[in-house]
Amino acid sequence: MKRDRRQIKTRNTILEACNQLLETKSIEQITINDIADTANINRGTFYLHFKDKYEMITNFEDEMISLLHETILKHVPNEQFEQEFLPSRYDTIIEVFKCLEDNEQLLSFLIKLDFSTTFRKKLRQSLLTIIENSGIHHYKEL
């Protein structure tokens, strides 16, 4: 589903507000009112985007995983994996870092969460999927 500019702007404003709030509170302490007030939006606007803050977290986790997954797949070289890993994957690694930099707000939010283990598990699973689908079998111990 393609989002329009207003939806993207509101989503980014919510993300920015969450990052700001996480500087002084844990996610458990942050309320929807806190997010809405900090983002300067109505509570109803928040609920147009997310059912609750936990769905918001899941949505942001899934978005970051998807961005990284797409970036890696787009830049994985076609040659066999038996080549020396770093030299043959340098461009892929650079693109991953660019993706992380381009999505700094999103990554910052996910890293600040106390229970970001779900993000780590999703990232691990995504990387394993890429490895398995790329015929890469030497690095399954991720």
Whether residue 20 lies inside any domain: the answer is: yes
What percent of the chain clears pLDDT 70, i.e. is strictly above it? 82
Q: DSSP letters along 60-105, please?
A: HHHHHHHHHHHHHHHH--SS-TTS-HHHHHHHHHHHHHHHHHHTHH
Whether residue 139 lies inside any domain: the answer is: no
Q: How far apart are CA 128 and CA 134, in angstroms?
A: 10
86: containing domain: 5-133
Answer whether residue 34 shows pLDDT above 60.
yes
Answer whether residue 21 shows pLDDT above 90.
yes
Place of tokens 């329009």: 4
Task: Say which residue, 137 or 91, is predicted with more confidence.
Answer: 91
Confidence of residue 117 (pLDDT cuts 50, 70, 90): confident
Residue 114 confidence (pLDDT): 64
Confidence of residue 33 (pLDDT cuts 50, 70, 90): very high
Confidence of residue 81 (pLDDT cuts 50, 70, 90): low
Whether residue 142 lies inside any domain: the answer is: no
C-alpha dist (Å) from residue 118 to 9, 74, 101, 142:
26, 24, 21, 16
Confidence of residue 44 (pLDDT cuts 50, 70, 90): very high
Whether residue 102 lies inside any domain: the answer is: yes
Mean pLDDT, all residues of the chain: 84
Whether residue 100 lies inside any domain: the answer is: yes
The verdict on pTM exceeding 0.85 is no
Q: What's the structural domain count of the chain?
A: 1
Q: What is the CA radius of gyration of the chain?
A: 18
Whether residue 138 lies inside any domain: the answer is: no
Whether residue 89 lies inside any domain: the answer is: yes
Residue 139 confidence (pLDDT): 45
For residues 52-59, give the mean pLDDT. Answer: 95
Domain CATH for 122: 1.10.357.10
Torsion-angle region of 40 (φ positive above 0: left; ψ -120 to 50: alpha; else: beta): left
Whether residue 112 lies inside any domain: the answer is: yes
